[in-house]
Amino acid sequence: MRHIFLLAVVGFATTAPPDKPTLGEWPAVRPAAPVALKPDEPRPLSIDRFRLFWVANYSGTVPLRWQATPLDASAQLDFIDLPNGAPAVGILEGESRAKAHRPPEGVANAVAVWGLSPGRVLLTADGVEEGRIVTLVRVVIAVGGTTQPVPPTPSPDPPTPLPASLYFLILRANGPASPEFATVLANPAWNDLRKAGHIVKDKTLGELGDEYRVPSGTTLPCVVTLKRTDSGMTVVRGPVDLPTTTDAIRRLMEVQP
């Protein structure tokens, strides 16, 4: 019966819709905290000092993930996630950094950030809302105490699409892949194609559907090369045998659209 009771509590534990996630920080730049995020206002952070940031009003079931992206080559900071409700100890070199930090009472989803070398760093917190991964907050940290406003920084995602991308569609028979095929697909040369801005994907004939009909007499596995145009995908090279060597894989890029 106890188990049933617990489940009932979960089932009826409804709350009002949560407010939009907002960034909190300590010590606060301004007296009021949490403050609404303004990504174009960098938060100053002295070298060898720490600052706590947290996200208020986050109601996702998955803990946040903090990420730091240097905006200047020289910029460097260190950070640790602070588990909800648990004291966290940040230990870095030097007397001023060997401190124990506890998030303020009632604060969850916190991160402790230390300044290491001057420059700007973009700190983001990703979470999950309604089954989708979203960036909840962004804040620019000016390590070294810079207080001058900086221009708004472009979002690091989505990545900028590379031009002139080809699409290498690898077709194979239905069912599990053979070890030989898996070995070929694991060749790092495919990543050379990806690094050049192209897309590589394998499909079985069953996954292919009706959009593309493999010419009769084609030996599987094979590679079909397509090119992205304004109106969709165009086949620029029909099926060729799946290359098995590094050089042959790289030569797939030698196609004249």
Partner 1 sequence: MTTRDFRIPDDLIVGPDRDSLAALAGPANWGIDRFAVKVLSDMADGFGIVVGVIDTGIDANHPDLNGRVIDAADFTGGGNPGDRNGHGTHCAGTVAAGNPQIGVAKGARLVCGKGLSDGGSGSGRGIAAAMRWCAERGATILSLSLGSPDPDPQIDEGGRELAERSIWIVAAAGNSGGGTPNVDYPGRFPWAISVAAVDEQLRVASFSSAGAKIDTSAAGTNVWSCRPGGGYRQMSGTSMATPFAAGVLAMYRSGLIQRRRPIPSVESLRSILRDRSMDLAPIGVDRRTGPGAIWPLLLASDLEPDPFPITTGVAP
Q: Does 202 bind partner 1 (CB under 8 A)?
A: yes
Residue 65, amino acid? R
195 binds partner 1 (CB under 8 A): no
Q: Does 207 bind partner 1 (CB under 8 A)?
A: yes
3-class DSSP assignment, residue 183: helix
Sole binder of partner 1 in the list 178, 244, 245, 246 (CB under 8 A): 178
3-state SS class at 118:
coil
* Shortest Å distance, C-beta 7 to partner 1: 6
Cα 183 to Cα 178: distance, rounded to the nearest angstrom? 9
Per CB under 8 A, contacts with partner 1 among 103-122 are none
State yes or no: residue 175 binds partner 1 (CB under 8 A): yes
Work out how close the CB of 30 gets to partner 1 at its nearest, in angstroms, rounded to a whole number.
31
Q: Residues touching partner 1: how many (CB under 8 A)?
A: 50
Tell which one of 41, 78, 126, 192 touches partner 1 (CB under 8 A).
126
- In three state form, how does the secondary structure of 224-244 look? EEEEEECCEEEEEEEEEECCC
Residue of 63, 65, 71 lying closest to 42 (CA atoms) = 71
Closest C-alpha to 173, from 129, 142, 214: 214
The owner of tokens 């069912």 is 175
Structure tokens at 31: 């007296």
The answer to whether residue 162 forms part of the interface with partner 1 (CB under 8 A) is no
Contact, 119 vs 20, CB < 8 A?
no
Eight-state DSSP code of residue 196: T
3 scored as a contact of partner 1 (CB under 8 A): yes
Matching residue, tokens 């080809």: 166
Site for partner 1 in 47-106 (CB under 8 A): 61-63, 65, 81, 83
Q: Name residues contacting partner 1, limited to 221-250 (CB under 8 A).
A: 226, 229, 231-238
Q: What is the contact surface with partner 1 in residues (CB under 8 A)?
A: 3-4, 6-7, 10-11, 61-63, 65, 81, 83, 126, 128, 131-133, 167, 169-170, 174-179, 182, 185-186, 199-202, 204, 206-207, 209, 211-212, 215, 226, 229, 231-238
